[in-house]
């Protein structure tokens, strides 16, 4: 069933768990995510990032309607979310397609400009009656291509999200949740992440809104549980799901038929997603 982000946040807050937000660029991703969610009877989030279209990986006008349709058919609450939207016209295009949540990412802008643009994004979200996520602080890593390969540069602590600034930002913009920088990177990890758990707790307490963890793939289950205990309620996850599918196809191939390879990849991704979801909701086997 199609759901709003605040609806699943209510479940997450009551149970002190996190909801997985999984980026999708093809139908096999959607299948893998929803099958895992229905198996565990837990809500989930299907996300599409503006960068997918900018990099000619997938297209909003093609993927969006399929995401909304599959969310409506699902047996569990499913949020359809635009991830890392940087252009308000592009974000509105997603909302017109039926997306129930949006993220405006102004983290690369000067602070005052981020506040100003996020306020405009909040007004847009209210116009469509959807929830809105925003971001302050800068995350390490540069995603290079669809394989999720990342240059893993050690984060400067000064680049992490400042709690006082986060509090001011939420008060001035009225966002529903906040993506923050506390030691994760986008893409694939080539060194063990060093997360600042105390900072997560302070951000949660200062802002009073759910904290979102970007760069969630590749983090240990122990670290997932620690950030969730300290206030993270949404975890973005993509690279290692996609990698699980690619690895399975590589190991079990070669295949003459794409449909055979796609099935193998989908099954492997479903297993990876299920493992992540179990951890996020404290259902580890």
Tell me if the bond preceding 2 is cis, omega within 30° of 0: no
Chain-centroid distance of CA 113 in Å reads 24
Residue 57 forms beta bridges with which residues? Answer: none
Measured distance CA(196)–CA(207) in Å, rounded: 17
Measured distance CA(108)–CA(113) in Å, rounded: 10
CB 134 within 8 A of CB 166: no
The residues annotated as belonging to the active site are 83
Residues in CB range of 249: below 8 A, 6 or more apart: 255, 261, 264, 265, 268
Chain-centroid distance of CA 241 in Å reads 12
Taken in order 265, 266, 268, 269, is the CA torsion positive or negative?
positive
What is 73-126 written as a DSSP string? Answer: H-SS-EEEEEEEE--HHHHHHHHHTT-SEEEE--TTS-HHHHHHHHHHHHHHHH
Q: Helix, strand, coil: what percent of the chain each, to 5?
A: 50, 15, 35
Taken in order 11, 91, 47, 170, is the CA torsion positive or negative?
negative
CB 86 within 8 A of CB 111: no
């Amino acid at each position: 069933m199609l759901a709003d982000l605040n609806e699943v946040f209510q479940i997450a807050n009551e149970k002190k768990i996190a909801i997985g937000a999984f980026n999708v660029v093809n139908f096999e991703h959607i299948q893998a995510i929803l099958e895992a969610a229905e198996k565990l009877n837990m809500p989930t989030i299907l996300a599409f990032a503006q960068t997918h279209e900018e990099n000619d990986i997938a297209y909003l006008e093609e993927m969006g309607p399929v995401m909304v349709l599959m969310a409506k058919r699902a047996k569990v609450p499913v949020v359809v979310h635009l991830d890392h939207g940087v252009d308000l016209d592009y974000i509105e295009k997603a909302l017109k397609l039926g997306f129930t949540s949006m993220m405006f990412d102004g983290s690369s802008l000067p602070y005052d400009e981020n506040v100003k643009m996020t306020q405009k994004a909040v007004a847009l979200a209210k116009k469509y009656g959807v929830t809105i996520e925003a971001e302050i602080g800068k995350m390490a890593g540069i995603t290079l291509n669809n394989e999720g390969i990342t240059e893993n540069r050690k984060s400067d602590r000064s680049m992490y999200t400042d709690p006082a600034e986060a509090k001011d930002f939420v008060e001035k913009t009225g966002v529903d949740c906040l993506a923050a920088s506390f030691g994760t990177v986008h893409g694939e990890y080539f060194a063990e992440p060093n997360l600042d758990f105390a900072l997560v707790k302070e951000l949660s307490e200062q802002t009073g809104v759910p904290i979102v963890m970007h760069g969630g793939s590749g983090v240990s289950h122990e670290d997932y549980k620690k950030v969730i205990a300290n206030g993270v309620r949404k975890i973005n996850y993509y690279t290692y799901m996609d990698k699980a599918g690619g690895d399975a196809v590589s190991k079990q191939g070669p295949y003459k038929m794409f449909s055979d390879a796609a099935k193998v990849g989908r099954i492997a991704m479903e297993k990876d997603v299920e493992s992540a979801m179990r951890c996020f909701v404290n259902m580890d086997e």
